[in-house]
């Protein structure tokens, strides 16, 4: 199985695969969530160097513009073990730490993508899920998860990608174990890797 690094419209590359990428991410804009803009411009390179995560850039094949980026890292999910009090079960997983679409790219390509053809879903189906599946075949992972901002529209979009929420008790238990302080107000969602 090969990692899919191109589709008909886009290519996917590792953050360090192109010398010009470091300059180009300085122009990346994410107006709805400046934390995602800050991450790609100021933190992604350090996380790469320390091995904390891997960031991938998605480019338009024709224009070579940066359309989006996403970050993956190894993770785990913890669930209540009902047969053993005070213990939990661990499931190996992959965290989709960040995904952001470049607003500059969207502005330059208005009308090319619609609600029936949303960029986020295109990127998830063509790159993120296949890469997570590829990784899972080598390291063993049963799930891909993310922490969504607490926004009904965003949660609905992730649901369309196949992510779902846990029950209230399970979600509270799991987030107590794996949610970082900067994801504090976020909603846990996951899906099984097939």
Q: What angle do CA 70, 72, 77 make, to 5 degrees?
A: 130
* DSSP of 114-137: -TTS-HHHHHIIIIIHHHHHHHHH
| CATH dotted code for 10-192 | 3.40.630.30
Q: How far is 132 from 137, CA to CA, in rounded Å?
A: 9
Q: How far is 59 from 6, CA to CA, in rounded Å?
A: 9
**Tokens of residue 48, six digits:** 């790469």
Note the pLDDT of residue 1.
Answer: 45
Note the pLDDT of residue 4.
Answer: 57
Note the pLDDT of residue 184.
Answer: 63
Any alpha helices (H) in 7-124, and if so which ranges?
Answer: 21-24, 34-38, 44-50, 103-108, 119-123
The model's pTM: 0.88
Query: Could you tell me which residue, 39 or 88, shows the higher pLDDT?
Result: 39
Q: What percent of the chain has pLDDT over 70?
A: 91
Q: Are 124 and 161 in contact (CB under 8 A)?
A: yes
Q: What angle do CA 158, 160, 161 make, to 5 degrees?
A: 65
Banded pLDDT at 76 (limits 50, 70, 90): confident
Range name among 42-56, 105-119, 131-145, 151-165 with the lowest pLDDT average: 105-119
Residue ranges of the domains in the chain? 10-192
Residue found by looking up tokens 């360090």 in the block:
16
């Amino acid at each position: 199985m090969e990692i899919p690094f191109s589709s008909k419209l886009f290519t996917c590359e590792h953050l360090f695969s192109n010398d010009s990428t470091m300059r180009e991410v300085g122009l990346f804009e994410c107006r709805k969530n400046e934390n995602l803009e800050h991450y790609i411009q100021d933190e992604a390179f350090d996380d790469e160097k320390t091995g904390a995560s891997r960031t991938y850039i998605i480019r338009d094949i024709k224009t070579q513009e940066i359309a989006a980026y996403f970050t993956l890292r190894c993770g785990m999910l913890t669930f209540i073990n009902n047969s053993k009090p005070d213990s939990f079960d661990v499931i190996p997983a992959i965290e989709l730490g960040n995904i952001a679409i470049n607003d500059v790219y969207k502005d330059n390509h208005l009308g090319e993508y619609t609600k029936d053809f949303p960029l986020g879903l295109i990127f998830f189906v063509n790159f993120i899920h296949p890469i997570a599946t590829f990784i899972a075949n080598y390291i063993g992972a049963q799930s891909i998860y993310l922490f969504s901002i607490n926004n009904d529209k965003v949660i609905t979009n992730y649901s369309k990608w196949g992510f779902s929420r846990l029950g209230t008790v399970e979600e509270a238990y799991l987030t107590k174990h794996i949610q970082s302080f900067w994801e504090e107000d976020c909603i846990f969602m996951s899906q099984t890797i097939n």
